[in-house]
Amino acid sequence: MSDISLEEWHKKLGLLSDLTLPLKQNIPWEKLGLTRIEKSDYLENLILLFVIIDRGWRKPFTVKSDFARVGALHVAIAASEGFITTQIDEDSWGKHWYVTPDGQDIHEEISSTLKEIIFKTHTIN
């Protein structure tokens, strides 16, 4: 069993949602309950992809914003995979990145994966 409540889990996800710039050095490892020893390139990329998709869902960002420029690699990955888009309808595009239905699905999957990682870290034997 884990010693993390659902409320605590939502607070941890909130930490990621509140990141103003998607930089690996901004990831609040300790507040997530992970030590720097536990971090990996895979986990960093997973968290940053989550941050990009989450931002596209909660507060769409412009293509020329600092957020998009700083997170250019993960924005490109998310767009290439169809998780975010600037397409408004069949024939028009805008200047904001929005989450797609596939992005919403992967957002949930990444959230579940992060929860597993954090829960495993906080298990009581």
pLDDT tens digit at each of 125 positions of the chain: 345 688 888 999 999 999 999 999 999 998 988 876 777 899 999 999 999 999 999 999 999 999 999 999 999 999 999 999 999 999 999 999 999 999 999 999 999 999 988 877 554 44
Is residue 113, in this structure, part of any structural domain at all?
A: yes
Query: How many distinct structural domains can be found in the chain?
Result: 1
Q: Over the stretch 44-59, which tens digit does the pLDDT of each residue have?
A: 999 999 999 999 999 9
Is residue 37, in this structure, part of any structural domain at all?
A: yes
The C-alpha atoms of residue 75 and residue 30 are separated, in whole angstroms, by 25
pLDDT of residue 121: 56
Is residue 1, in this structure, part of any structural domain at all?
A: no
CATH number at residue 96: 1.10.10
DSSP string over 35-68: -GGG--HHHHHHHHHHHHHHHHHHS-EETTSHHH
Is residue 108, in this structure, part of any structural domain at all?
A: yes
Is residue 87, in this structure, part of any structural domain at all?
A: yes
Please, are residues 29 and 39 in contact by the beta-carbon 8 Å criterion? Answer: yes
